[in-house]
Amino acid sequence: MSQVSWLPVSGVRVSAVKAGVKKPNRYDLVVFELAEGSATAGVFTLNRFCAAPVQVAKQHLAAAAPRYLMINTGYANAGTGEKGMQNCLASCDLLAAVGGCRRDQVLPFSTGVIGELFTLPPFERGLPAALEALDEHGWGLASEGIMTTDTRPKIASHRVELNGVPVTITGIAKGAGMIKPNMATMLGFVATDATIEPALLQSWLKRLADQSFNCISIDGDTSTNDACMLVATGKAGMAAPVQENSAEAQTLFAALRQVFVTLAHAIVRDGEGATKFVEVRVEGADSDADARAIAETVAHSPLVKTALFASDPNWGRILAAVGRAPIAALDVERVNIWLDEVQIVANGAVAADYTEARGAAVMAQGDIRITIGLAAGRGAATVWTCDFSYDYVKINAEYRT
C-alpha cells in the first residue's frame, strides 16, 4: 500500500505495529523516535473540545524536548473527561518506561471516534514491539498506521542543498473527513535533518500551516484532535543553524512548503467520497482576510460542492456563496468569476460569451479552478476543496459500523 517515493531523515526512526487498539490486524500504533538535540514545533486544534492527547502534547512540548511521538488510531480520546486524561498519561508512562525517558518527553496523538475511551493493554503489548521495530525507513508503514477513513497513505519528501550540504525533508499526514483545520491539519508529522533554532522552527510551522493545511476543507468541520508537528534534527551536518531571512532560509522554507502543500493536496484528493479536486482563488479583495472569507464560503457550500459532483455548471450557487460571505462590504457589480479560463460572471451578471456547454466541459474535469475577482483591492486567498458525493454521506452515516 505504501509504495510512494520518500526519503529517510537522519535523526528520526519510525515504526508502526498492529497493536489491536480497536480492530485486529491493522497498523494502528505509530512511534517516532527523535534524536537528542532535535528541535520540535507544534500547532494544535482550536476546537474547545480539544482531545486529551492534544492537551497533554501541548503541556509536554512546553516542558521538555520530545524524544518520542506516539500516535494511535481507532479512538480520538476526545470528550472522555478525567478518565480519558488518565489513560492518555498512562500511555505516555508506558512509552517512557520502555524508551528510557521522562513522561513529558513523550507527545501523544490520537485519531478516531470521539467520545470513546481506549484501553491500555494494546499499548502495553504494542509499545515494546514498536520500539523494537524502529527504523529510519519506517515512514511508509507509519503513513498507513495513522489512517482512519483515508483510502491511501499520504507521504512526501524533498531534498535541497544548503551551502553544499544535502538536506532532507519527509512528512506524513492523515485525514479524509472532518477536515477544516483551524491551526494545522488533522494529523501531520514532518521532519528535516536541517539545523533550525526552536523559535524560528515554531514561527515557520505556523506560516507553513497557514499556507497549506489551513487552506483546505473537505466538509467545513474542525476536528477535536488536529495537530501538526515539525522536527529539525540537525543531523545533516550543517556548519551552523539556518539564519532567518538568509538565502539558505528562503530555499529551505520553500522546500518545506512544497512538502506541506503536497500533503495538504493529498488530503483533499482523498476526501471522503471525493471525485474532484477544486481550487478556489479569490483576488482583488479589500484584504486577505476578506478574500479568505469568500473563498472558504464557496469551498464550504454544500450546494456548490454537490453541483461540482454532478458536473453541473450551476454558477448561481457560486454567486450566492460569494454574496453571503461574512465580509463588511461587497460591490456586486464588480464581481467576476471564472471556471478555469471560462468566464461565467462579468460585473455581477452572466458573461456575454458564456455558454452552458463551455461551463459543463470544465465541470466535468477532475481538477477545477474557480477564480473570483472583486476589483476592490489587493487582498487574495486560495482554498483547496473537493466535491460532495453520495459516498460522503454513506461513509459518515456508517462511520461507527
185/42 Cα distance (integer angstroms): 11
CA 345 – CA 318 distance, rounded (Å): 10
In this predicted model, what pLDDT tens digit does every residue of 375-387 receive, in sequence order? 999 999 999 999 9
- Kindly report, residue by residue over 63-102, the tens digit of the pLDDT: 999 999 999 999 999 999 999 999 999 999 999 999 999 9
- CATH T-level fold of 12-269: L-amino peptidase D-ALA esterase/amidase (3.60.70)
Binned at pLDDT 50, 70 and 90, residue 177 comes out as confident
CATH number belonging to the domain at 277-397, selected among 3.10.20.340, 3.40.630.30, 3.30.70.20, 3.40.50.300: 3.10.20.340
Is residue 111 within 8 A of residue 29, CB to CB? The reply is no
Catalytic position from the list 148, 149, 185, 385: 185
**CA–centroid distance for 117 within its chain:** 24
> CB–CB of 229/40 below 8 Å?
yes
pLDDT digits (tens, 9 = 90+) for 140-160: 999 999 999 899 999 999 999
- pLDDT band for position 4 (cuts 50, 70, 90): low
Q: Exposed, middle or buried: residue 319 (CB in 10 Å: 0-12, 13-18, 19+)?
A: buried
185 is catalytic: yes
Q: Which residue has cell 491539519?
A: 185
For residue 270, give the amino acid letter: D
**What percent of the chain is predicted at pLDDT more than 90?**
91
Whole-prediction pTM: 0.95
Domain boundaries, the chain: 12-269, 277-397
Closest CA to 359 of 373, 335, 342, 371: 342
Q: What is the pLDDT of residues 315-367, one digit of tens each?
A: 999 999 999 999 999 999 999 999 999 999 999 999 999 999 999 999 999 99
Instruction: Give all strands (DSSP E) within 248-341, no chain letters.
Output: 277-285, 336-339
- Asked whether the beta carbons of 169 and 262 are under 8 A apart, the reply is no
